[in-house]
Structures are given as structure tokens and as C-alpha cells.
Amino acid sequence: MNVRDNIRVGERLSKEPLEYGALLDQLGLSGVEKKYPNQLSGGQQQRVSIARALAKNPRILLCDEPTGALDSATAKDTLVLLQKINETYGTTILMVTHNQVIPQMMRQNIVMKDGKIIESRINDNPVPAEELEDL
């Protein structure tokens, strides 16, 4: 499926989807709607998957290693985008990561080991995603 069709799949799963054009603009995908995954960069592919999930206007967005396969610049762009989604739509983002830097931007961090919670802490001073270093 091309970018447009991928995002539209998410729309069909909701009675109140987000507006397609606005979502494309906000995620920087305008102009690539007819491209297929093999014609996109890694960052664009990641944004399409985020757009597909967001199209249905969820309250919670589950992200499993959203920066795992990305270079540091694209990883930062993806985190900035996720932060913007949280601020714009009020979407709660639950993110799983092995990256030790990403928790600096989160309001709450839960650390697990062997399937058990070993620590839960509130971050009173989250760092804006664009200020994260050494991703």
C-alpha cells in the first residue's frame, strides 16, 4: 500500500478519525502520498506508521522502540514529533525503549527487568525532545 492507503486504514477504524490532510501536514508527509514504503526514507516510514496509528484518533499511542532502527538525527525528529503529538492531541504515549537518553523527556518512567517493575519515578523537569543529546 502507498502512504495514503496506509494512513486511510487507520481512519476506517474510528468513528472520529483525525483529518487526513492536517495529519499529513503535521507529520511532514505532504507530497509523498503516492509513494510506497520502499520509496521512503526510514524516518518517513516511521512517520507513516505513526500517522496510521494516529488517524484513528487514539487516546493512547503504544510505541515499541520507535527510534531503534533510526540514525540519531532521524531518531530526534521522531521524538520531537511524538512530543508534538502529545501536546497537540493530548495523546498519552506509552513508549518502550532500551535507550538511556529518551527517559529524560518523559514525565513518568517505569523501569522493568525480567518482566517486573523495579522502579517507577516522576520526572519533574522533562527535557524537550529537541534538546536531547547522544541518541
Per residue in 60-119, pLDDT (tens digit) is: 999 999 998 888 998 999 999 999 999 988 999 999 999 999 999 999 999 999 999 999
- For residue 72, give its domain range: 60-135
Give the DSSP per-residue string, 27-94.
TT-TT-TT--GGGS-HHHHHHHHHHHHHHT--SEEEEESTTTTS-HHHHHHHHHHHHHHHHHH--EEE
Q: Is the pLDDT of residue 55 over 90?
A: yes
E-strand spans in the chain?
Answer: 60-64, 92-96, 108-113, 116-122
Question: In total, how many domains does the chain have?
Answer: 2
* Same domain as 5, residue 52: yes
CATH number at residue 123: 3.40.50.300
CB-hemisphere CA count at 13 Å for 133? 0
* Same domain as 66, residue 48: no
